[in-house]
Amino acid sequence: LNPAHPDEVVSEYAQADRDTARAAVEAARRAQPDWARRPVGQRMEILDRIGSTILGRTEELAVLLAREEGKLLTEARGEVTRAGQTFRYYAHQLLQPQGEVYASTRSGVHAEVRRRPLGVVGVITPWNYPLAIPAWKIAPALAYGNTVVLKPAELVTASAGELARIITAAGLPPGVFNLVMGAGRVVGEELLTSTGIDGISFTGGTTTGTHVAHQCITHGNKRFQLEMGGKNPLVVLDDADLAVAVRCALDGSFFSTGQRCTASSRLIVQAGIHDRFVEALATATGALRVGDPLDPASQLGPVVSPEQLAQNLDYVRIGRTEGATVVSGGTHQPDDGQFMRPTLFAGARNDMRLAREEIFGPVACIIRVDDPDEAIDVANDTDYGLSAGIVTTSLSAAERFKRDARAGIVNVNLPTAGTELHLPFGGTGASNHGPREQGGYARDFYSVPVTCYTGW
């Protein structure tokens, strides 16, 4: 259903049962040895073809994504472009060195490290980036000789279906890529417990991620890669450029309707700039235009589902109960769809649920601190550790933050949300487990190093 117009059906799909998921795993198992032996040139051509096809259909796919997920059309175009570029990037990664040669400590011995595919990979993806996240998992998996079974989120099956059509039309042998749509408790559980799966790459909530890890260890000790939640801090120091700070907070907290694991949900502001920052950000937040994602005038789209909207509004109630003050938004916008006014709280404390639990919506809270030392302490006082940012004109403060912030991604004078496909993505603590995603670092999950010794 279209979250901007809930009466509008975007697409229909068939839900798989466990037998269907099992058949997909078996197909991937049969196809994997031959796919791994395919010449690099063939794999490269197929991946490049997938990426080029996606890029050639940017507008069509972006409109579909915007209608299904609620993302602004401009943001949807960016996501489609990212997905296409990701496939093309991994096509060309295949021309990079794939092994290592070492000097042996023994006379007459040659030592090298080769890489072999992990095998059959189960890919479980969320609804907030229905093309980009599957792309940055599927592309390296295929590039390094694995076969794939994709289980997308049920809210974004139309996007997953179009991506699958593009992939399978690019010349892949049967069974190399498989799409199985359905409920997590059915399809997802089959992937987690199947002895035919060698690894699981998962992006989603931390609670579900913990379950994924337990099932993988229990059922065959599968390799697993977990990208989970975030409660990301943006620190604003007294010396910050106020306009830059407001721009970073507005973008990081509310764009994509706050439905990003890298969103700035905790704004940690030093006392000297605090009051001016609160006033300026509240004004900017109140001026944001919430509306249909296909309308060029809209700056925020709808919340993805009625359940997510209800959860967001419940956190607004919780924040008020805890003693924080709403200085902008906090309501369901009275339109036809699942629209919510972006919500900014002031007077929050870092021990509030508002500041500790991932909301995954357009809700941010401001926490006042006295000095940079306290700002770093508060920023690091979280179970998560995905992304962190600081706004400052001090080089030393910026360098200290890059050194001391406990996060996998650190931004200076930039929003906390925003990554590049050739650089590693991932966090610490409850935000991540396993090797990083994206760039050359993806090889660490999708391939296995084999140390080889040869005597002469």
Contacts of residue 23, Cβ cutoff 8 Å, sequence gap at least 6 = none
Q: How far is CA 48 from the centre of its chain?
A: 23
Largest Cα–Cα separation, the chain: 78
The half-sphere exposure of 312 on its side-chain side, counting CA atoms within 13 A, is 30
Q: What is the DSSP letter of 16?
A: P
Dihedral through CA 78, CA 86, CA 249, CA 258, nearest 10? 70
Q: How would DSSP label each residue in 197-258? A: --EEEEES-HHHHHHHHHHHHHTT--EEEEE----EEEEE-TTS-HHHHHHHHHHHHHGGGG
φ, ψ of residue 48 to 5 degrees: the values are -65, -35
Q: Which residues, other chains included, contact 190 with Cβ-Cβ below 8 Å and sequence gap of 6+? A: 18, 21, 22, 25
Alpha carbon distance 347, 326 (integer Å): 9
Q: Confirm if 191 and 151 have CB atoms less than 8 A apart.
A: yes
| Cβ-Cβ contacts under 8 Å for 416 (sequence gap 6 or more) | 232, 233, 234, 248, 252, 262, 263, 264, 387, 388, 389, 409
> Exposure of 405 by Cβ count < 10 A (0-12 exposed, 13-18 middle, 19+ buried)?
buried
Active site residues: 227
CA distance 125 to 132: 10
**How many beta carbons lie within 10 A of that of residue 353, not counting itself?**
12
Residue type, 355: A
Are residues 345 and 324 in contact, defined by beta-carbon separation less than 8 angstroms? yes
Place of tokens 């509030």: 352
Q: Are the C-beta atoms of 142 and 442 separated by less than 8 Å? A: no
